[in-house]
Structure 1
Amino acid sequence: MTRVVVLAGGVGGSRFCLGLRAALEGRVDAAAPASGFDIVVNTGDDLWLSGVRLQPDVDSIVYALAGVNDTERGWGRAGDSERVNSELQEWRAGWPWFTLGDLDLGTHLARTGWLREGSTPTQVIERMSARWPLGARLLPMTDAEVDTRVVLEDGRVMHFQEWWTRHRAALRPARFENPGIDAVVPAPGVLEALAAADLVLIAPSNPVVSIGPILAVPGIHDAVRSARGRVVGVSPIIGGRVVRGMADVCLSAIGVETSALAVAAHYGARSGGGLLDDWLIAEEDAASAADIARVGIRPVVTPLWMRDAATSAALAEAALQTAGH
């Protein structure tokens, strides 16, 4: 049985995890048991709002695997309404530019109640996962609160969600911070999952604010680097452009060019103290393959667009085959 661990966050991460589940399930037959599948999820996007705890990346992946996500918006529940959100705005509560759907709010209320009763985020996610057959085990990167803050060039500081959702990343960031992250520990099961993994996958999520916080939790970067199996990353850049969102602004803030080559170099080759053995790049970026190889990472050219379930599964299958699984 192949043990697979994925580091993921955001819409790109949820789509890739859907594809990976389909690819693994497609390999199951009477002679081959189902493969293990763990997802270490970014919790840097988390925040308190109107008295409830939100975990956007956790919810995006849970909803996607459960088949109840809003595929048009890319976040939230399908068929949701916004009656409660409208009432909150009448009370001038919360953020008028941050919509909480009614079904989504039900999730936040349940989570907050469990947290108030003493459950950890890990235990909360276990309870959430019991509702639907997700086909994967979700693990938060840490049980501590290390929300992402954006320090702007003019010195102002705001929560990542305000910068991302309200300002659409239009305000120039100087850096991103997760206050207190140096003192936290990985959530229970994370290091054990990585140690037992036959394959570690880095999803095509935002390298700075989705994958970055996961790797910043003490112990996780080293656990990935020392994994017994191969570490395969999937480029979030296609043809020199971000696939979704404003990841290019995030990359610029840390001095990384928006290219498949630059992001590969940012993660680094495992042979040189970095993380990657292999790096899946789009056909549009094939010209950079030789340069990626010179960094010490094996480039694999394959279609990266996840337009539907079939193309997402094909990408995940390519990642599995790259690692020899």
Structure 2
Amino acid sequence: MNASVDGHYLALSGGVGGAKLALGLSHCVPAEQLTIVANTADDFQHYGLHIAPDLDTVMYTLAALSNQELGWGLAGETWQFLEAMERLGEPTWFRLGDRDLATHVFRTSRLAAAATLAEVTAELCQRLNIGPRILPMTNDPVSTQVLTDEGRLGFQDYFVRRQCEPAVSGFEFAGIEQAQPLPELMAALEDPQLRAVVICPSNPFVSIDPILGLPGVRIAIRNTAAPVIAISPIVAGLAIKGPAAKMMAELGIPVTAAAVAEYYEGLIDCFVVDESDATLAPMIETENMSVAVRPTIMKSLDDRVSLGQAVLALAEELT
């Protein structure tokens, strides 16, 4: 772990890619100095349960419980519940494991008892012995709607049931105008002790945009004195995980790290690209946005910690 310094770090995360960097950051700073805000626009109801895929991926990853083979869910998972549902003729396209089911039952029960999503998340983190603070982006319902050549699809319907097959033409976030960002998120952005905002290498369109789209968040990020650093989810023209590259191609956006940087332009102070995209750095850099070339592919814990250390070092340089 790096030497402790005063201040706080805020990370914005989607699922797998963001969770990897969040884990790396958690090994670099004391737990009380790190807050991770997870996208909740891909939350949905299934079998009457409140499912929060990105929140759960971040929690399981930081609790060292995640399924490394699948990249989602819990390690050592079994599927007897799902097999029983299949026998009853129920849809089983969304894979809910027996162990994972406990999280969703707990969350749904607590929400039904009038707890907020943030309160339930804090309770789960405490019971899973997670040190850093993990927050949902909002307590209010927001739903990512994917506009496709087959019509409007809920995100999990598009991502899991349809396996990202329909061609994408845009996105809408139902409920986002009425949703309020979590007060702790806004307080963190306004904290004079904030040392950096880290936009993790998550899908900019469906993982990061919902967080930025909450009322006041984008303006608060622009106004913070802390450096804002984004890590490219696109490496050598490919998405390390998920459908970002496919979405970009279908939206007519070049599938490059440079295009992601342009998407974030005006919001961030530094953009981190992988070594394989080093030649793009000169064309990405602008008067208000520097570019750093670092190894960004996180296959091992050491890779995640190394990237976390690199991001924190950049934050110190920018400060």
Q: TM-score, normalised by structure 1?
A: 0.92
**How many residues of Structure 1 are paired with residues of Structure 2 in the alignment?**
310
d(CA) in 1 for partners of 2:253 and 2:127?
40
Contact persistence 1:2–1:35 (CA under 8 A): no
One-letter code aligned to 1:132: L
Contact persistence 2:32–2:132 (CA under 8 A): no
- The corresponding residue for 1:67 is 64
One-letter code aligned to 1:212: D
- The corresponding residue for 1:108 is 104
* Residue 35 to residue 115, structure 1, CA distance change in 2 (3 Å): closer
d(CA) in 1 for partners of 2:87 and 2:196?
50
- The corresponding residue for 1:30 is none
Q: Which one of the candidate residues 170, 173, 179 is aligned to 1:175?
A: 170
What does residue range 10-89 of structure 1 map to in structure 2 within 5 Å? 10-25=15-30, 36-89=33-86
Contact persistence 1:234–1:281 (CA under 8 A): yes
**1:132 Cα shift?**
2.3
What CA deviation, in whole Å up to 9, does each residue of 1:39-93 have, x standing for no partner?
Answer: 1110011000000000000000000100111011011110011111111122223
Are residues 1:144 and 2:140 paired? Answer: yes
**1:150 Cα shift?**
1.2
Q: TM-score, normalised by structure 2?
A: 0.94
**1:178 Cα shift?**
1.2
- The corresponding residue for 2:212 is 215
d(CA) in 2 for partners of 1:178 and 1:293?
30
Q: Matched residue of 2:254: which SS?
A: coil
One-letter code aligned to 1:187: L
Q: Matched residue of 2:108: which SS?
A: helix
One-letter code aligned to 1:160: F
What does residue range 135-284 of structure 1 map to in structure 2 within 5 Å? 135-154=131-150, 156-196=151-191, 197-268=194-265, 274-284=266-276
What does residue range 84-95 of structure 1 map to in structure 2 within 5 Å? 84-93=81-90, 95=91
Question: Once superposed, which parts of structure 1, at least 4 consecutive aligned residues long, lie more than 4 Å away?
Answer: none
Are residues 1:324 and 2:319 paired? Answer: no
What CA deviation, in whole Å up to 9, does each residue of 1:121-161 have, x standing for no partner?
Answer: 0111011111122221011111111111112124x222111
- The corresponding residue for 1:286 is 278
Contact persistence 1:146–1:180 (CA under 8 A): yes
Percent pairwise identity: 35
Contact persistence 1:265–1:295 (CA under 8 A): no
**1:224 Cα shift?**
1.1
Segments of structure 1 that go 5 or more residues without pairing to the other structure are: 26-33, 269-273
**1:35 Cα shift?**
5.7
